[in-house]
Amino acid sequence: MAVALDDLLERLHVVALPMRVRFRGIMIREVALIEGPTGWGEFGAFVEYEPPEAAHWLASGIESAYGTRPPVVRDVIPINATVPAVPAAHVPEVLERFPGARTAKVKVAEPGQSLADDVARVNAVRALIPTVRVDANGGWTVEQAVAAAAALTADGPVEYLEQPCKSVDELAEVRRRVAIAVAADESIRKAADPLAVVRARAADIAVLKVAPLGGVAALLGIAAEIDIPVVISSALDTAVGIAAGLAAAGALPRLEHACGLGTGGLFVEDVADIAPVDGGLPVGDVTPDPARLAALAAPAGRRDWWIARVRECHALL
């Protein structure tokens, strides 16, 4: 979608959201929001991403701000609770922020922690939430993933292992050696060919995220080409980005699993509220609260950094 750079920059709001717990190594989540003619868009590529990768995120934000949403077939999307790599004793406090959730995604394979820490965290979640899935973010070797699968299921089932290893070949080997379903995330959103992991039969479930794939339309295009179930997940989005994820999940012809779109509970304050409905989130547009935009505005120097980044990424679209 072609949008003039000057028009885009005039519509930019850069915000810095403080987080309740460290997630992906950060305590402040910076994003640029686009107040577009047809809605709000979000450009929130993580700061370490280089322009060729970040440009997909900008394309997604432009689509949301200047385009139209697809028709939906469901109005409420079931969501999972997201449990960072916190000590087991802190799990109840984290889960309180996800009222009604019946599924929880638990971060594992955190650097500096042990498999015993992961088992304790998963068991603490399992005591409160019936369905547990785990996300290793590619942090294990094949052997570590196989050992972890056995340890994490010793006291109860696990719905799936998300991205246990980095490469497609490793995922395929883990899938052959464990009885748990394997889900692919980074192997799809960071790949030059997002469908390679499916062709290699390396995953049972595809975790798709709107922003890294370039927008709702691009995500739905990929979902239409694969024959495995899809889970729509957040890239630590604000409420604006979550709305795009909900739109994608609402438009999927088939949705068999809870989606990872409840990460707003990780922020101390968001730019808008999306009220949960019995463990789900409603599909619909989101408009940031002007007072929150002002209160959460990033410092001038950081705003300048994001403007420069938008310029770099826009040139690649």
Report the catalytic residues: 107, 209
Q: Go through the chain and tell me how many residues it has.
A: 317
Q: What is the Cα–Cα distance from 10 to 174, expressed in whole angstroms?
A: 48
HSE of 39 in the Cβ direction (CA atoms, 13 Å)? 21
Q: What is the DSSP letter of 252?
A: -
- Extract the tokens encoding 275: 């009220």
Q: What is the Cα–Cα distance from 209 to 166, expressed in whole angstroms?
A: 17
- Extract the tokens encoding 228: 């495995």
Give the CA-trace dihedral at 111, 116, 118, 123, to 10 degrees.
-170
Residue ranges of alpha helices (H) inside the chain are: 5-10, 51-66, 91-95, 115-126, 142-152, 168-177, 186-189, 196-199, 210-213, 216-225, 239-251, 290-295, 300-314
Per the annotation, does 162 bind a ligand?
A: yes
CB atoms within 10 A of CB 148: 26
Per the annotation, does 135 bind a ligand?
A: yes
Q: What is the Cα–Cα distance from 43 to 308, expressed in whole angstroms?
A: 13
HSE of 200 in the Cβ direction (CA atoms, 13 Å)? 22
Per the annotation, does 204 bind a ligand?
A: no
Instruction: Calculate ∠ Cα 14-15-19, nearest 5°.
Output: 150
**Residue stretches of the annotated binding site:** 135, 162, 185
**Residue stretches of the annotated binding site for Mg(2+):** 135, 162, 185
